[in-house]
Structure 1
Amino acid sequence: MTNDDDPSASNTQTPLIEVVQRLVRGGWDEVESSLVTYGDPIALDGTRSTVRCHLLRSDPLGTPRLKTLAQQLANQIVNYCIPRTDIEKVSQLSPDRQVPEITRLANEAARLFTQTQVKTGEGAELLLYALLEKGLEIPQVLSKMSLKTSTEMQYHGADGVHAKLLENGDLAVYWGEAKLYESVAKAMTDCMDSIAPYLTGMAHEQDVFLIRHYADTGNAEVTARLLEYFNDSSLLSASVEMRGACLIGFVHDNYPSLPRDEAAVRAELDVALASWAESTKKRLENRSLTAHAIEVFFFPMPSVKDFRDAVKSELRIDVKP
């Protein structure tokens, strides 16, 4: 592998904004056959937040491709769970050694997911990772799954940590929160309640500590350059902007068959999306979050339980009745 082929390769002369952008792995084509992006992003007036909506793509019989999405998410677990340095070490092996090592990493990653909890949110967290990394090209800079001390517990703190360099040189850190509820209102409320402390400076200290000690770009030099933003003695520490990313998953009745029936259901979906966006705006205002940039993803689904079970099944986790 040459230096140009390595997305994390760098030297002190390479602009850091380019280096961080190279950390993005994969693209939207990896999930596009199971997801439909509905409508254009909605910039919420009076805020810096954007609302987006994704739904399950359906087959010709109108069946949502939930199993396909679960398979595609399961295919991401090595990149999602395993530190980049460990993956980079495998990439340096000969081809005949890489396959068993990749298999070993996949098995290790699968074992990090909770095995016994019925209402785990880890499938939603994995989906949020995919939406940020593959949809918005904002790379994950800290694999919190690899830091779990018990496979029967979900990790504490933010559900994801992503970052990108802005054109002005600031580092935008995205704290992720993913919520799954039957009710969209409950999912919105819980998600905003969870993300607020990270944006207002009341809850991110522990996760910043984890970044300082466990951030991993797969390249020691790149990691060191990025960590300058988290060194309080560095001028760069004054150029960190805390942002948010929220996945709001919930049950939507009379689930549409998309994209085939989009024209027939557009009016109904437009009304629903406008209502979700307005409700999001009110929650942001009530929590004094209008000045913070937040990416809000709405993910209506036929069944929250079926989504959880489908992801667990692909990870070979026993599904409880």
Structure 2
Amino acid sequence: MSHTLEAELNGLLGTMDWIPTFCTEHPELQSEGASIRQFFLALRDDEPMMMELAAKLADQIIGYCLPRKRVARTVQRYAKNLVDLIAAIATLRRDARHAFQKYREEFPARSGEAGEILAYVFVEHFLRAPMAIAKMHTKTNTTMPVFGADGVHVKYRAALDQLEVIYLESKVHKTIDSAAKDASKSIDEFRSGKQRSVELRLALDLGNFDQLDDAAQQALEDFLDPYSGAQTAKRLDTHACLLAYNEPAFEDVSGENANDMLAEAFSEGCEDRRATVSNAYKKRDLPEDKIVTFVLGLPSVAEFRKEFERALSNG
């Protein structure tokens, strides 16, 4: 059973192997405490690849927004006719696009979906945990965000016969301090409320598991059902957090040595950022060993939102 469930879940993953091209990870030894991985937007020559990153994120919206069974059904139905398949995929993209809120400069906090899809691709690529439910598909009002966790992913740990349920949180703020405090508040509220049970029920009832074989689906239900699941005691609930912020180091890099200058300047701030995030978690008494945090430095979070909106509109 363990090998079946592991293989079936891996089959739901995308590779997302383009992420390291656009987001450079700072190589640092993992210290004790919070698991924090730090990245900065990569440069081409001396230009930040903001537009390219936004375009790649916009390319993911079908898989991010729509249930896997709908996408699979479309591909199977039109697989023998390439022209019809292309048209059907265009329809899927249009439907996925309608789920996103319109970016409005006067209400930037309501335009966090660029950060949410960024968290989604980071978790799929680095944690190799497929999305359990397309929450964007459950929206009934496209002018409002989806409440609760920003996403739910699952990962089977075969060695422990344990299912890890990963609840996503993303914050895109001007400063890392503000992003970390806001994320800590959201995680704290999620852990102390009833939303966890709601998320598990959504995953059971509306999850992306229709493509799995019957044995794998039953195994997942045994883990996810908080009341009657035979394996619910072996479920591990964790969090993955994406914090994007304005990185000052971008302001002073230019010329042929821009990449080296940026890497050096970013490196100088790593310990302070790590302490900022860890302290925010400690103030809320959050279990740091159950949180994986991805920190991403951008030239401008406002421009990131605008570029993502532009990529959605032009695609």
TM-score range, shorter-chain basis? 0.7 to 0.9
2:171 to 179, 189, 196: 179
Q: Secondary structure at the match of 1:98?
A: helix
Partner of 1:16: 5
Partner of 1:103: 90
1:23-49 per-residue CA deviation (whole Å, 9 max, x = no partner) reads: 211232x33332212223634x2x3x3
CA contact (8 A) 2:35 2:288 kept: no
Partner of 1:141: 132
Partner of 1:313: 310
Whichever residue aligns with residue 115 of structure 1, its letter is K
1:66 to 42, 47, 50: 50
CA-CA distance at 1:200 after TM superposition: 5.0
CA contact (8 A) 1:199 1:243 kept: no
Q: Secondary structure at the match of 1:178?
A: strand
CA contact (8 A) 2:222 2:231 kept: yes
Residues 1-321 of structure 1 mapped to structure 2, 5 A cutoff: 15-28=4-17, 30-40=18-28, 42-43=30-31, 45=32, 47=33, 49-60=34-45, 62-93=46-77, 94-96=80-82, 97-115=84-102, 117-118=104-105, 119=108, 120-166=111-157, 167-199=159-191, 202-219=194-211, 221=214, 222-231=216-225, 232-255=227-250, 256=253, 261-290=258-287, 292-316=289-313
TM-score by length of 1: 0.86
- Range with bigger deviation, 198-207 or 287-296: 198-207
Whichever residue aligns with residue 73 of structure 2, its letter is K
CA contact (8 A) 2:176 2:276 kept: no
Q: Secondary structure at the match of 1:162?
A: strand
Alpha-carbon distance between aligned partners in 1 of 2:138 and 2:257, rounded to the nearest angstrom: 43
Whichever residue aligns with residue 65 of structure 1, its letter is M
| Structure 2 unaligned residues grouped into runs of 5+ | none
| Structure 1 unaligned residues grouped into runs of 5+ | 1-11
Q: Secondary structure at the match of 1:249?
A: strand
Identical amino acids, percent of aligned pairs:
23
- Range with bigger deviation, 243-252 or 226-235: 226-235
Whichever residue aligns with residue 198 of structure 1, its letter is F
Distance 1:123 1:258, change over 3 A: farther
CA contact (8 A) 2:58 2:308 kept: yes
Q: Secondary structure at the match of 2:183?
A: helix
Name whichever structure is richer in helix by fraction. 2
Q: Secondary structure at the match of 2:129?
A: coil
- Range with bigger deviation, 198-207 or 73-82: 198-207
CA RMSD of aligned residues (A): 2.3
Alpha-carbon distance between aligned partners in 2 of 1:316 and 1:122, rounded to the nearest angstrom: 14
